[in-house]
Amino acid sequence: MSDFFLTAEAEPDEAVKLALRRIDEAQAAGQGSDVEGLRLNEVVVNMGPQHPSTHGVLRLVVTLDGELIKDVIPVVGYLHRCKEKLAEKRTYFQYIPILDRTEYVAGMNCEWAYVMTVEKLTGIRPTRRAEFIRVIVGELSRIASHLVAVGTFTADLAPLGTAMAFYTFRDRELILDLLEEVSGGRMMYNYLRFGGVRYDLPSGWVEQCRDVMKRMPKLIDEYASLVDDNAIFLQRTVGKGVISQQDVVDYGITGPNARASGVELDLRRTRPYSVYPELDFEVCTAQHGDVFDRYRVRMDEMRQSVRIIEQCLDMLPRGPVQSGSLRAPYVVTPPPGSCYVGQENPRGEYGTYIVSDGSRYPYRLKYRDPCFCNLQLCPKLLRGNKIADAVSISGSMDLVLGGIDR
C-alpha cells in the first residue's frame, strides 16, 4: 500500500498507524520531539470524512505539532461506485447518464468529454447547431460549478463569506433553471447525444438566457465587493498554499489551479474543439498561485463564460440538433481501437479513454479527472501551514470527490 494515498477499504485505523509511524521515523532522524523517547509534541487528528468544512466525502489524516501541520495523508474511496467498470455492461448510449454522477456539479461537461470520444471513435460528426448548443450549456455548467466553488469556499473563511454563499446559491438557481428547461434535469441532465443533443432549445429559451447573461456580470461584481477587501479574507488567502509552475508540471495540475500560477493552459485554446476557435474570449490567469489567485481566476472565468454564451446566442444557426445518420435508439458499434479526448472541465482537463472491441459495449473505459491530480498536491501545500489554513487551502483546490473515487 502506498505511503501517500490510502483508500477507505483499508483498515479503519491504517492511516492513523501510518501517520504515527512517520512520526517515529522523523523522531529517529532527529526531526521530532525535543524530549527524547517521546512524541508528545505531535498529535494525529482526522479531518473528515464527516466534517463541516470538507467539500465532499474526503478524509485527511493530519499530523500536528501544536497548530502547525507536519504531515497529511488523504484517505479516499468513500464514494467509490465502480463507474468505470459499469461501462463494460452497458451500451455506449446507456452509459451517458452515469457521466452526470462523476463530477456531479458539472455533469454537462462530463457528458461532453464522453460523447466526443465516442464520436471520434465512430467518425460521427455533430450538427453545427448542436455544437453551439453544447458550448452554451457547457459554459452555463461552468458558471454553476464556479458559483458552488466560490460560495462554499468563501463561507469557510470570512464572516461576509456566509452571505456570499447565500447569494451564489441563489443566483445559481437562474442557471439551473435554464439547464432544466433545455434538458429536463437540474443536475443529472442526460442531454448530450452522439452527433448532437437530445432536444432543441425550447421556445423563448434564447431570450431568457440573454436576460440572465445580462444580469450575471453585475452579480459577479457584487460577490467580489463582499470579500475582495475583507481583511480576514485577505489574511487567510494571500500568500497561502502557493502552487509553483514546477508543481503544475510535476503533478499534472490543470484548469483554474494551473492558470492561477501563470500557466496559460486551457484546452479550449491549446487543443481547441467544437466551435471554440470561432469565439473571442480570454484565458484567465494570475501570477502568484496562492489561494486568493485561485479564487480570482474562477471569478474572472465566470465573466468570460458569459461572454462566450452571448456570442453563441448571436451566432446560433438554424438546423437539426442531431446528425441525420444517428437517431434513437442511438445504437453505435465503433470499430476496434482506442481513443482519448480531453475537455476543459470547470476544474481542468477531464478526459475519457475508451477501448473498443467492435461491439456495442466499451471493452474498457477510463477517466482522467482533474480533481485526482489536485488532491495529490494537497499534502505538499498543507505542510508547514497552520491547521486553520487547511480549510482555505484544500477548499481553494475545488475538489469533487465523485470524480476522484469514481
Model confidence pLDDT, tens digit, residues 307-354: 999 999 999 999 888 886 555 566 788 899 999 999 999 998 999 999
The verdict on 97 and 51 lying in the same domain is no
Cβ neighbour number for residue 277 with a 10 Å cutoff: 9
As a whole number, the mean pLDDT across the chain is 84
Q: What is the pLDDT of residues 371-380, one digit of tens each?
A: 888 888 988 9
Residue 7 has pLDDT above 90, yes or no: no
For the beta sheet containing 337-345, the strands, ordered from the edge strand earlier in sequence to the opposite edge, are 337-345, 348-356, 362-368
The verdict on 221 and 242 lying in the same domain is yes
Cell 465566470 -> residue? 302
The verdict on 323 and 381 lying in the same domain is no
Q: How crowded is the C-beta side of 307, counted as CA atoms within 13 Å?
A: 13
The verdict on 360 and 393 lying in the same domain is no
Who wins on pLDDT, 191 or 406?
A: 191
Report the CATH number at residue 146: 1.10.645.10
In percent, how much of the chain has pLDDT > 90?
38
The verdict on 226 and 142 lying in the same domain is yes
The verdict on 118 and 217 lying in the same domain is yes
363 and 85 Cβ atoms separated by less than 8 Å: no
Number of domains in the chain: 2
The verdict on 238 and 271 lying in the same domain is yes
pLDDT at 38: 42
- Three cell numbers, residue 294: 485561485
Who wins on pLDDT, 28 or 121?
A: 121
pLDDT at 189: 85
CA distance 83 to 406: 6
52 and 396 Cβ atoms separated by less than 8 Å: no
pLDDT at 34: 46
CA distance 50 to 348: 26
Q: Measure Cα distances from 56 to 12, 77, 96, 366 in Å.
A: 19, 11, 23, 22
pLDDT at 33: 46
CA distance 257 to 402: 19
The verdict on 221 and 332 lying in the same domain is yes
- Three cell numbers, residue 235: 489574511
The verdict on 58 and 198 lying in the same domain is no
Range of the domain at 116: 83-368
CA distance 293 to 301: 12
The verdict on 74 and 161 lying in the same domain is no
Q: What is the pLDDT of residues 217-240, one digit of tens each?
A: 999 998 888 888 888 888 888 888
pLDDT at 30: 53
pLDDT at 206: 93
Residue 69 has pLDDT above 60, yes or no: yes
pLDDT at 214: 94
Residue 394 has pLDDT above 60, yes or no: yes
The verdict on 402 and 281 lying in the same domain is no
Q: What is the pLDDT of residues 115-154, one digit of tens each?
A: 999 999 998 899 999 999 999 999 999 999 999 888 888 8
The verdict on 381 and 253 lying in the same domain is no
For the beta sheet containing 6-7, the strands, ordered from the edge strand earlier in sequence to the opposite edge, are 6-7, 68-76, 59-65, 42-47
Q: What is the pLDDT of residues 169-219, one digit of tens each?
A: 899 999 999 999 998 888 888 899 988 898 899 999 999 999 999 999 999
Residue 35 has pLDDT above 60, yes or no: no
Query: 46 burial class (0-12, 13-18, 19+ CB within 10 angstroms)?
Result: middle
Report the CATH number at residue 48: 3.30.390
